[in-house]
Amino acid sequence: MVPVGNVGVSAIQLAAALRRAGHVVHWIEFPQLKKQLKLADQFGCTYAILLGQDELD
């Protein structure tokens, strides 16, 4: 999970729902998007969910 902007509560709720459904969710939060995606790659993540305000609207 890569939260973008001020979406903290919604991102936490989505991460919790995904975990309840049996998915492994890593929470990656750094100021630079490039660093976030690099960490997701290092963790071996198959997918990176970029969650920003546009996705919530």
- Cα end-to-end distance, the chain, whole Å: 18
**What per-residue confidence (pLDDT) applies to 15?**
92
SS3 8: helix
**What per-residue confidence (pLDDT) applies to 17?**
97
Which residue from 39, 44, 36 is spatially nearest to 5, judged by alpha carbons? 36
**What per-residue confidence (pLDDT) applies to 18?**
96
The domain tally of the chain equals 1
Instruction: Please write the tens of the pLDDT for every residue from 24-44.
Output: 999 888 888 899 999 999 999
Query: What are the CA-CA distances from residue 2 to residues 31, 34 (Å)?
Result: 11, 11
**What per-residue confidence (pLDDT) applies to 45?**
92
Q: With 90 as the cut, is the pLDDT of residue 2 above it?
A: no
**What per-residue confidence (pLDDT) applies to 29?**
83
The domain containing residue 27 runs over which residues? 2-56
Take residue 54 and report the two structure tokens written for it: 């546009």
Say what the pTM is.
Answer: 0.76
